[in-house]
Amino acid sequence: MGKSIIINKLQVFIITWFGQLISLIGSGLTGFALGLWVYQKTGSITQFALISLFTTLPGIVLSPLTGALVDRWERRATMLLCNTVAGLTTLVLVLLLLINQLQVWHIDTGMSVISVCTAFQFPAYSATITLLIAKKHLGRASGMTNIGEASARLFAPALAGIMVMTIGVKGVLLIDFVSYLFAVLSLLIVQFPKPEKTTAGSQAKGSLLKEAVYGWTYIIKRPGLLGLLLFFAGSNFGLGIASVLITPMLLAFTSPAILGNVMSIAGSGMLAGGIVMSVWGGPKPRVYGVFGFGLLQAICLLLVGLHPSVPLITVAAFGVFFCVPFMDGCNQAIWQTKVPPDVQGRVFAVRLMIAWSSFPLAYLLAGPLADYVFEPLLVNGGLLASSVGQIIGVGAGRGIGLLFMVLGTLNFGVAIFSYLYQPLRMIEKENIPL
């Protein structure tokens, strides 16, 4: 009987994971296609960056409330609702394209709706994995979930670039809509187990406001978990700026087709890392995986900006993405073992809010930093053209390259400082009262 239950849980996880994987690939197609559409229509890095802002900010702001609701609601129903609303939002954008009425603000609004859906989806999905997978295999499960995101990064840019030229942006959006339908179907054929009640869950009960605040209270009492969050908030700031600016940096000296190829190869680094993580399960203690791969990622981020060379940027970006599954997988496994399942919705939602809080700031600053600070420094005759420019080059895109190098250096410092913080370094040896 016990073995049958384990197999059934594993089957549920695989079916759910596969449905979400297909949906992620569809969303990756849409994200690349819409970003390219906006950048080509406006020629503005700031407008391009605002898409990323609206894709994250609403969900981050609402995450404490959504986390409390996730713990109240049935998690499968929550994920079904999220996938349905996100799919219908994509369909609306398709209809606006068909009647030639699509505007940038429509895209921003649609991305905001999908952002709110993600704020429900992330804690519901993460908390459900804890119920389906044994603790010793959580690192492997996290590696598998990263494979989904990696597949989106690997296949989406190249496929979207081809599809935009053949079936147009509306065709890409329709494929994304179908991918949401696939995710909904996969959820309809499974059932999720209910979390067992714990002392922490009983203490957290109350009004919606109290339950929303509980996630923050739980984390703030545990310095190691708070330190882990601040590490990712710091490193995510650099990655957020980099994710926006790599497109204009590459387009300054190469074509959209080459851009798609570079992003696809870089995304394959995340796929490779996800596969290794799913087989290996990550280092022990897991927090060393966060530190070690955080340092490696920072070095690769610096190398992305070193020279306007497609091979160098491709290899360095591959390294940046290769580190992601190990950092995220180790981080996820720590949280899943340190937080009781019946309050994970609330705690994970606050975790998302803090760790991702630096993304909106990064997206807001990316355009102005590139346009008005770093790019002017390395134009011909710029302030740093005769010094730094002699090493990394001058002209369009070189200021962004310098910014990449600064971000890599800052992320390296964040990893070193975090290692020196003892509560974080010893987090897995600490007995955290529930």
The DSSP result for 285-344, as a single string, is SHHHHHHHHHHHHHHHHHHHTT-S-HHHHHHHHHHHHHHHHHHHHHHHHHHHHHS-GGGH
CATH number at residue 280: 1.20.1250.20
Q: For residue 434, is it within any domain?
A: no
Q: Is the pLDDT of residue 328 over 60?
A: yes
pLDDT band at 5 (very low <50, low <70, confident <90, very high): very low
Residue 190 and residue 16 in contact, taking contact as beta carbons nearer than 8 Å: yes
Short-list 405, 372, 307, CA closest to 383: 372
pLDDT band at 198 (very low <50, low <70, confident <90, very high): low
For residue 434, the model assigns a pLDDT of 46
Residue corresponding to tokens 């690939």: 25
Q: For residue 432, is it within any domain?
A: no
Task: Between 148 and 314, name the one with better pLDDT.
Answer: 314
Which structural domain, as residue segments, surrounds residue 204? Answer: 2-189+200-425
**What is the per-residue pLDDT across 62-105, written as a single tens digit (0 to 9) for each?**
877 887 788 788 888 889 998 899 889 988 988 888 888 888 88
Q: For residue 63, is it within any domain?
A: yes
- Percent of the chain clearing pLDDT 70 (strictly above): 88
Q: For residue 69, is it within any domain?
A: yes
Which stretch of DSSP H or E encloses residue 397?
none
Taking CB atoms within 8 Å and a gap of at least 24, the contacts of 162-166 are 162/260, 163/29, 163/33, 164/33, 164/36, 164/37
Short-list 158, 37, 57, CA closest to 111: 57
DSSP-based three-state secondary structure for 389: helix
Q: For residue 390, is it within any domain?
A: yes
Q: Is the pLDDT of residue 284 over 80?
A: yes
Taking CA 256 as the corner, what is the angle to CA 253 and CA 258, rounded to the nearest 5 degrees? 75
Q: Which residue intervals of 189-255 are DSSP H helices?
A: 199-204, 208-220, 223-251
DSSP-based three-state secondary structure for 103: coil
Task: Between 73 and 416, name the one with better pLDDT.
Answer: 416
**What is the per-residue pLDDT across 40-59, written as a single tens digit (0 to 9) for each?**
777 776 777 777 778 777 87
Q: For residue 430, is it within any domain?
A: no
Calculate Rg over the CA atoms of the chain: 21
Q: For residue 431, is it within any domain?
A: no
Q: Please tell me the pTM assigned to this model.
A: 0.72
Q: Is the pLDDT of residue 124 over 70?
A: yes
36-40, 147-151, 190-194, 421-425, range with greatest mean pLDDT:
421-425
Q: Is the pLDDT of residue 308 over 90?
A: yes
Query: Over the chain, what is the mean pLDDT?
Result: 83
Q: For residue 195, is it within any domain?
A: no
DSSP-derived letter for residue 387 is T
As for how many domains the chain has, the answer is: 1
